[in-house]
Structure formats: structure tokens, C-alpha cells
Chain A
């Protein structure tokens, strides 16, 4: 346990807290979005697969948010952080809160994030904070399967019928400007990287591009020729979509505080 980061070193607690919220909220918001498909997927097998993925993501969110609450040290646990914060306190990347759209758009969003989560978790396995390394070791196996599945389906649908190809290209075009945020480093990322706790996200971009280029190529999809990126999610500036998502996700705890079953 000697490597655990304790108060005062080597990264300020509030920085670490911010960084953990980014991990937890990204998993939580994406998990909730994917769970919205439950009972609505095009076929039974996909319905179960998506529900599995949503549950994996919510499980990951629990681990990150529990640790965030512990680091914050103000008595907030995973539940308080998930259900009792407002939109401006959420630190997920904007890509995760984008509406599901059709099945193709959901899959494209999943693929673009999976291709980022895989190298991130791989790098986090060697974090100097062994609590982070432990969560990453568990998460890495889950996201590896998510990527395997989403990449496969993006290829099949991209290189499928004329209609499936059109829908996948539209999804890619619509979501592309939300991918840049994953690699936009700020002071929190720099401090984490400096302390050997997490990789600089900018450094993951090459690995992400390798995966994305190969899959889009095989899927016969065209990568949009633009570097424009919507930013702000990880700093609490969200699109209007997040508020609606939270209204549904948090309703029960807001209306019946402390309710359990």
C-alpha cells in the first residue's frame, strides 16, 4: 500500500478527485445511455448484449465514484455522487451524453469511446496509485470485449447494405466533433501524468487513431476531414442532453431521498 497517494502528495486531492470524476461520470453517463436500449433493441441477442455492456459500465462507474468519494473525504459515496449532483458537477466527456439515435449511432458512439478506453485502461494498469491500477486491471478486460464487439458491428454495418452504410456514415459524421475532447489535456491531466498516476490523454491519440483508422477503413466509412472539437464536458459545461438524462436517472432519489429496496 506504500504507493497509495495520501493527502499532500504527489497530486493534490482535489486534482485527483476531479480526475476520478471524469472516469466515473464517463462510465456512468454512457452506461445510462446504453441502458436506454433495454427492451428496445432490434433483436433479442443485441438487447441482452447491450444490457450487459451497460451493466459493465455502471459497475465501472461505481468503482471510480466510490474511490472519488473516498479521496474527497467529505462523506460522499458512489450514490451521493451519482444521484445528488447537478449537470454542471458532472465531468463526463460530451460524447457519452449524446442521444442514442438509431442503433448505428449508438454503436458508433460506443466504438469511438471503446477505442479510447482500451489504451487508457491498459496504461492505467501501471498507475503508481494501486487503487487506480486495480480498477484498471478489472476494467481493461471488460472494455476489451466491448471494443471487440463494437468494432465488429461497425465493420459489418459500414460494409453492409446501402442503408446500413449510410446510417453508419451519418453517425460518424454527427459524432466526430465530440471525439477530440477525449485527448484535450488540461492541468488536471498534466498533474496526474507528472505524478505517474495516469497517462497524458494526448498521448493516447495515436493508439486511438490506429484502431479507428483500421476499423473505419474496413467498414468502408470515410473519416470526416475536420479537427474541430466540442470541449467542456470534463469541466462541467454540458450539452442540454445531460440535464434530461439526469432527470430520468436521478428522479427516484430526488423524489424519495434515501429510498432503498
Chain B
């Protein structure tokens, strides 16, 4: 049996209306303790109003070796940026 507690990724919502953002990771024996530990480790200075934890083992990551094929092609597609349009103020945050 592995002695170390499993790793959890921690996501914090900074304030209502914003997205949860990845802030780091920690060890905990289960999800409930991971939330408690995240509260103590990552929200000591009023950083958030909501916490998500996800087992790190459940994260599927893209292959770093494939980054050229994955990301390079978008580099020269400037027409994909909405910089050619005037965005009305009423639209708000994009």
C-alpha cells in the first residue's frame, strides 16, 4: 500500500461571477479532507468564495511533445482574434 496520501488539484473561485481557477495541489486522504486542506492552505487571505478539488490522477493532460502540432498552427491565424470588430460596451466581458 502506498503510504503517501493521493494528490488533489485545487480550483478556487475568487468571487461570484468569475470562473474557478487552478491554484495548486495538495495531499489529502479523501475529497472531504482535500476541501478542508484547500481551505487552510489556499484561502487564508480571503482568496475565494468556492473551492473545487479534483483527484490529480483524473486529469488527462495534452502531450507536451505534441505541442507544435497542437498549438503552432494557431499562431498565424490572426483573423481568429476579434480585433477586427468594434465590440459594443453593452456586451461586457468577453
A: residues with CB less than 8 A from B are 43-45, 48-49, 52, 145, 148-149, 152, 156
- Closest B residue to A50 using CB positions: B40
Give the complex CA separation of A149 and B27 in angstroms: 16
Task: Report yes or no: B36 in contact with A49, Cβ–Cβ below 8 A.
Answer: yes
Instruction: Tell me the complex Cα distance, A75–B49, Å.
Output: 41
Say how far A173's CB is from chain B's closest CB, in angstroms.
Answer: 26
Q: Mark B39-70, 1 if CB is under 8 A from A, else 0.
A: 11100100000000000000000000000000
CB distance from B5 to the nearest CB of A (A): 7
Residue contact A45 to B37, C-beta cutoff 8 Å: yes
- Listed from nearest, the 3 A-B pairs whose CB atoms lie closest are A49-B40, A45-B37, A48-B41
List residues of chain A with CB within 8 A of the CB of B26: 44-45
Chain A hits for B36, CB < 8 A: 49, 148-149, 152
Chain B residue with minimal CB distance to A43? B27
List of A residues within 8 angstroms of B37 by Cβ: 45, 49
Give the residue name and chain of the B residue nearest to A153 (CB): B33
What's the Cα separation between A45 and B30 when bound, in Å? Answer: 13
Interface residues of B in 66-85 (CB under 8 A from A): none
Bound-state Cα–Cα, A48 to B5, Å:
16
Task: Please report the C-alpha to C-alpha distance between residue A149 and residue B40 in the assembled complex, in whole angstroms.
Answer: 11
Closest-by-CB residue of A relative to B34 is A45
15 contacts between A and B (CB under 8 A): A43-B27, A45-B26, A45-B27, A45-B37, A45-B40, A48-B40, A49-B36, A49-B37, A49-B40, A49-B41, A52-B44, A145-B39, A152-B32, A152-B36, A156-B29
A152 to B36, CA, bound (A): 10
**Smallest beta-carbon distance A51→chain B, Å:** 9
Chain A residues whose CB sits within 8 angstroms of the CB of B32 once the complex forms: 152
Smallest Cβ-Cβ distance to B41: which chain A residue: A48
CA distance A48 to B42 in the complex (A): 10
Cα(A149)–Cα(B37), bound, Å = 10
A49 smallest CB distance to B (angstroms): 4
The interface residues of chain B lying within 8 Å CB-to-CB of A48 are 40-41, 44
**In chain B between 4 and 45, which residues have their CB closer than 8 angstroms to a CB of chain A?**
5, 26-29, 32-33, 36-37, 39-41, 44
